[in-house]
Chains A and B, each alone.
Chain A
Amino acid sequence: MLAALLIAAQIAAQDPRLERLDPETRSLVVTVVDSARAVGLPGEPLIQRALEGATKGAPGTRIVAAVRRLATDLGTARTALGTHASAPELEAGVAALRAGASPQLLTQLRDVRRPPLTMALSVLADLVASGVPTDSAAAAVLALAPKARDADLVEFRRAVERDIALGAPPGAAAAVRALNTGVRSEVSGPGQQPGRPPSRP
């Protein structure tokens, strides 16, 4: 009787958007979301990942695995970025981690840049997705982070992507564009401080 009441209460408390999942998958996803929220992690990214899987017709097992993996990575990102990190920062942190950035790099970035860190972390992940080696992308973003505005970082990413599209080696494109954005050389060394403020578009 009590168990039935608890189940009924859980179903009533479920996010109605998750009704697009089959009952078994929904139950497992709700458990992961509730566990994440219980430790202070955002639940919305987990729900969105489950909805993405449902809309794309993925099997329930794959949806649950993706949601669990995301919850784990959100926890890693929060450990690296601190308990005050916002949900968008944690999501961007997950993207950076999955791109190959280390948790230590995320912590370094937090220490040199005023929040929000969302754009810096995203640009790092996007550069790697564009083919820039992780070390080069990390070094460039870390060097730009202390002074560059979000708009500067976006322009930096676009410039690197344009260079790559024109045939430049990705690592070289990131290094040269970082130089042109006002950073001294040795962008391959994490922790490099900028020599002068970045240029403004």
Chain B
Amino acid sequence: MFEQEDDIVERMIRQLRRPVAIDPGLDARVMREIADDAQPQAPGRRPLLRAWPWLAAAAVLGAVVIGAVVIARPWVRGSDNPDAFQFVLVAPQASSVSLVGDFNDWDPARSPMQTAHGVWATVVPLAPGRYRYAFLVNGIEWRADPGAPAAGDDEFGTPSSVVTVGGEGS
């Protein structure tokens, strides 16, 4: 379910870790600026204000990067909601999709999924355990999660998937 998003995040991390080429003349320019700043300021000169556009740009860039990571991996167990997991199904033609499983008594009304351009998603809090689940599309069609392990025993003739939430581990 999350492998594709993992790849996106890994690519972003690789991109962010890529060494940045620095202009060889940067040192000279910086030292010149420092030397200039050491001189008495001319009336009306405000070096701090000159830095504001760069600071603002850096802040926006940082927010975008952090936001992208958070949006790409919302299912990661974090400090805000440690048991929240996101389920996603791409179904552009669907008019409704519900998530049903062991965590909501297999009740389609409990976890209706929201769509954005055919990508259906919902977030469910899960305690440690192993859960069977499936997607109910348009109220009639059962679909397994293509990105999750399949439940091996489909005794009722329709596919299901499983998600396992770990505990303490060893």
Q: Do B130 and A91 touch across chains, with their CB atoms under 8 A apart?
A: yes
Residues of B within 8 A of A128 (CB): 152
Q: How many A-B residue pairs have CB under 8 A?
A: 110
A83 at the interface (CB under 8 A from B): no
Residues of B within 8 A of A135 (CB): none
Q: Do A119 and B164 touch across chains, with their CB atoms under 8 A apart?
A: yes
Q: Do A92 and B156 touch across chains, with their CB atoms under 8 A apart?
A: no
Q: Per-residue CB proximity of B116-145 to A under 8 Å, as 1/0?
A: 000000000000111010001000001000
Looking at B21-29, B55-63, B89-97, B102-110, the stretch in contact with chain A turns out to be B102-110
Q: Which of B6, B162, B168 sits near A126, CB closer than 8 Å?
A: B162
A180 at the interface (CB under 8 A from B): no
Q: A48-B105, A52-B106, A161-B3 are in contact. Are A122 and B130 (CB under 8 A)?
A: yes
Residue of B nearest to A114 (CB): B170
A150 at the interface (CB under 8 A from B): yes
Residue of B nearest to A55 (CB): B106
A99 at the interface (CB under 8 A from B): yes
Given A91-B129, A92-B164, output 4 extra A-B contacts at Cβ < 8 Å: A51-B105, A69-B155, A114-B170, A119-B167
Q: Write the residues of chain A forming the contact surface with B, with a CB cutoff of 8 angstroms.
A: 17, 45, 48, 51-56, 58, 62-63, 65-66, 69, 87-88, 91-92, 95, 98-99, 113-116, 118-119, 121-123, 125-126, 128-130, 145-151, 153-154, 157-158, 161-162
Leading 5 A-B pairs by shortest Cβ distance: A150-B166, A150-B169, A114-B170, A126-B149, A88-B129
Q: Write the residues of chain B forming the contact surface with A, with a CB cutoff of 8 angstroms.
A: 3, 6, 100, 102, 105-108, 128-130, 132, 136, 142, 149-153, 155-158, 160, 162, 164, 166-170
